[in-house]
Chains A and B, each alone.
Chain A
């Protein structure tokens, strides 16, 4: 198992050219999103939300976020 110790800011999906954007000014670092992620791609590391490369940009986390801190962005 590979665990990303150095985490990246956004999860970029290779397949459909969309990515999960974390609005860090809105995120309250509560972990609500982590519990619903079917891929296990999110992790709450204290006051830091990491998005790992296996994120599929499904948007479930963005839907449930109580604050609206997550957004699936489509790249051109």
Chain B
């Protein structure tokens, strides 16, 4: 670890790894600091990602893919099962990753490209000079080192503190944090090539419960509920335990994973002087699905590209870095976040009876493109009156 880098990256998850790799490939000196003693652990993720989304960044590798998904199912509050299949039967539509190995692979690629990596190294405070960010104080095994950088990329996840220290309000509203718990379960009866989503106020209020297969008779079984609905005796863990007891009474839990997922709108602004904010720290999780891996990789890569460009022009002011914020908001990802936020806001207000009605309208769906957007389009097709209820939102779905 040196005392000066072009780019300092806080966090060694998918956002930080892609930022480090991209910065190094652009010829910049870059350091990734990870506060945990290991990259990839502990996992705080359901580990699902769409096939196309993954392949945009990296070729699929069996070393970090737990299972291939061929379809999905949605279970209505009344138990009705809606099956979703790809137009081309049996084709891969997505993956459930093994994040412990996936994250390591991404950081390894950053290191291979030339980025420095430091684990058990925590950004304890920003270095501010005349109100301007100049780097961070990095704590490692009781010693604190000043690491200066032209640009700092905050990729410090849902529990992000760095941007807050720089004066940016990152607080997630209570109703928009998904209070979550997941068990990795073994010896359970599942369809190992299909992700399952359970909806309903009794199962997962303002959220959903998931089964994401990890292979033969094993899966991530988890739940996210709105923070607003959480409280003593009715927490995410209470709901999950109730479900597991009923559905997998003989299953064995081999990993216990609590977590928080933001489903709010992204930060109002994801840049400041010498600072770019990425991934979960920027609150760019998909508010409808809670998926964040792709969005983290996309913003991490883009942040480093913008940093490289601005450093080459010797201007890393907020104004110069602003192109990062503008670009991701105008991107397919940015538009999907805005659209899915509005769909989420609509769905959480619907009573179970309405969800039943929507899901009952079709028992089996073949999707040309396996995405939430095409699913919603198909649902609207068979429920034309939804178009009226969605009002202005409908225009963004066409």
Contacts and interface: CB of A to CB of B under 8 A. Distances in A.
Which of B235, B236, B260 gathers the greatest number of chain A CB atoms within 10 Å? B260
Interface string B267-279: 0000000000000
Contacts of B329: none
Given A32-B177, A44-B159, A67 B235 contact: yes
A34 B295 CA distance: 21
Contact of A1 (B157, B165, B170, B173): B165
A35 B232 contact: no
Interface string A45-73: 11000000000000010011111100000
A36 interface: yes
A19 B36 CA distance: 28
B122 interface: yes
A36 B230 contact: no
B161 A66 contact: no
Main secondary structure of the interface of A (DSSP, over half): loop
A9 B234 CA distance: 26
B260 A35 contact: yes
Given A3-B125, A36-B174, A67 B181 contact: yes
Contact of A30 (B137, B173, B174, B260): B260
Majority-rule SS of B interface residues: mixed
A43 interface: yes
Given A63-B174, A64-B230, A68-B232, A30 B165 contact: no
Contacts of B120: 46
Nearest to A34: B159
Contacts of A40: 161, 164-165, 171
B70 interface: no
A24 to B, nearest CB: 14
B146 interface: no
B171 A37 contact: yes
Contacts of A60: 174
Contact of B171 (A38, A45, A66): A38
B256 interface: yes
**How many A residues touch the partner, as a band?**
20 to 34
B131 to A, nearest CB: 11
Contacts of A34: 158-161, 260
Interface in B162-176: 164-165, 170-174
Contacts of B172: 35-36
A35 B144 contact: no
A4 to B, nearest CB: 9
19 contacts: A1-B125, A1-B126, A28-B257, A32-B180, A34-B260, A35-B158, A35-B177, A35-B262, A36-B173, A37-B171, A38-B171, A63-B230, A64-B179, A64-B227, A64-B230, A66-B180, A66-B237, A68-B235, A68-B237
Interface of B: 35-37, 42, 44, 120, 122, 124-126, 128, 137, 139, 144, 157-161, 164-165, 170-174, 177, 179-181, 227, 230-232, 235-237, 256-260, 262
